[in-house]
Amino acid sequence: TVCRFPLVDATRQPGDPPQYGQECDLDCEEQHTDRNDSEDHADYRLVRRMPRFSQISLGAAQEAMASCGLPEGAERDEAGVVLGTAFSASEYHFEYFDGLFHEGLKEASPLLFSESVMNGASGHISHQLGLRGPGLTLLGSEDVGMHALATSLDQLRPGDVPCVLAGGADEYCDV
């Protein structure tokens, strides 16, 4: 089946149009609605408003879930997300604080603030992929992705969660 809803593409540059016509295992007429509620696809209207960091993280998460198989039912309800980052959505951080400094509090964008929090990407991943278990964002240096993997093992070993999506991500920023 050819899908009319795009999967998030981590290689897509800002401003590039979404790529439609991808192969899809879902029966698009039955499972995709106008709001695109399918848990296997991200809602493009929401994705385009995300910071680039969240878009890249979500795209990588979708690819990881597709390669290992998506959890179903109760397992998905308990599946966790652990994301490690050093800088998160740094471009949004700097844009928000630049506006706050030069234009004052009344002109500071609440959207920029809410998207610049460090756990924004893991929240988007959980929401867009329907993972309803514990979500955790680790902050650190260049090895924080490895710490995310170790933390996910700490959640899996005692059986706290049936599965965890874990990894690290950062975006390049000139500052």
Cα–Cα separations (whole angstroms), residue 135 to 76, 82, 164: 13, 6, 9
Decide which of 36 and 43 is more confident: 43
pLDDT, tens digit, 9 for 90 and up, residues 93-139:
888 888 888 988 887 888 878 888 899 999 999 998 889 999 999 99
Decide which of 7 and 131 is more confident: 131
Spatial separation of the C-alpha atoms in residues 99 and 90, rounded to whole Å: 14
Residue 160 confidence class, pLDDT cut points 50, 70, 90: confident
pLDDT at 17 over 90: no
Spatial separation of the C-alpha atoms in residues 173 and 175, rounded to whole Å: 6
Residue 13 confidence class, pLDDT cut points 50, 70, 90: low
Mean pLDDT of the chain: 78
- The H or E element containing residue 40 is none
Spatial separation of the C-alpha atoms in residues 28 and 131, rounded to whole Å: 21
Sign of CA dihedral 38, 127, 17, 53: negative
Decide which of 20 and 104 is more confident: 104
* Type of residue numbered 12: R
pLDDT, tens digit, 9 for 90 and up, residues 130-142:
899 999 999 999 8
Mean pLDDT over residues 9-37, rounded?
47
Residue 5 confidence class, pLDDT cut points 50, 70, 90: very low
Spatial separation of the C-alpha atoms in residues 32 and 4, rounded to whole Å: 9
Cα–Cα separations (whole angstroms), residue 148 to 40, 78, 91, 165, 170: 23, 18, 23, 10, 13
Mean pLDDT over residues 13-18, rounded?
53
62 CB-near residues (< 8 Å, 6+ apart): 7, 8, 42, 129
